[in-house]
Amino acid sequence: MPSSPPNSIFHYRSSFFKSRRSSFIFFLCLLFILSSFLFSLLRPVRPNPCTNRKPKSVRVVWDTNVGAVAKNDKSRYKVMGFVGIFTGFESVGRRQSLRNTWFPSDPNSLQRLEEATGLAFRFIIGRTSDRWKMSALQREIAEYDDFIQLDIQEEYSKLPYKTLAYFKAAYALFEADFYVKADDDIYLRPDRLSLLVAKERSHRQTYIGCMKKGPVFTDPKLKWYEPQSNMLGTEYFLHAYGPIYALSADVVSSLVALRNNRHVFLSPQLNCLAT
């Protein structure tokens, strides 16, 4: 009998602490729910990047029935310089590296960079018969909206055709003082490039970049064997070379005057997808 009171006190205290603990847990849960509700009300709504914004990505196709783009065509977007970053279907990682460094990763930041430097930037890519790669490209275009897709098979052997198609497409879309061709494995300083392009020059037909010449390889066993070496002689002529170079508008306009003019339109599958 003497042991009864202590047991009663023990059970009473245990129940008391359990009750306080349950109340404390309930209070924490209630506080968490209220905080989440208030955060959802006060959090600014992120605007849809596609709302009231014209898509930047376009697809360019051959159309021999369309005449050359007029030099004073008002439909062209005016910038100081246009920069095309040549890329391929196997270069997803390179594009992401650029977007993580100097190339803006969203359309609004890309627009701000353009306004700050006077330069417009786009990735330049062709097409492929691989449906999976084309589908992956369409998803990337919908997410970032920073491409110009050319109607050229994306192959290394067709790089000269892609380069010519690029300058024609860039001239059709943008009215610029300079058109820049760059590779997707470079680190670019847009501010420095802007200063270089803005520099006054006495000659309107200008090339900015490196020049190169070298021996012609006549041995079929060598990697860079030149099948037409008998027509070229022992040394290549001086030519443009490098991961980046720029042509003035007058030079590009002469390329546009060549046959196979280009007609530019916004393809539906390149439009920015609503999220």
What's the rounded Cα separation, in Å, for the pair 80 and 246? 12
Q: Say what the pLDDT of residue 227 is.
A: 85
Q: Say what the pLDDT of residue 47 is.
A: 46
Q: How do beta strands 207-212 and 239-248 pair? A: antiparallel
Domain range list for the chain: 58-209+241-268
Edge to edge, what strands does the sheet with 147-153 contain?
207-212, 239-248, 178-183, 81-86, 119-127, 147-153, 58-62, 262-265
What's the rounded Cα separation, in Å, for the pair 270 and 101? 25
State the CATH class of domain 58-209+241-268.
alpha beta
Per-block mean pLDDT, blocks of 10 residues, the chain (275 long): 48 51 65 63 47 62 47 75 97 96 94 96 96 96 94 90 93 96 95 94 91 88 85 83 92 83 44 32
How many angstroms from the chain centroid is the CA of residue 196? 22
Q: How do beta strands 178-183 and 239-248 pair? A: antiparallel
Tell me how crowded residue 186 is: count the other CB atoms within 10 A of its CB: 13
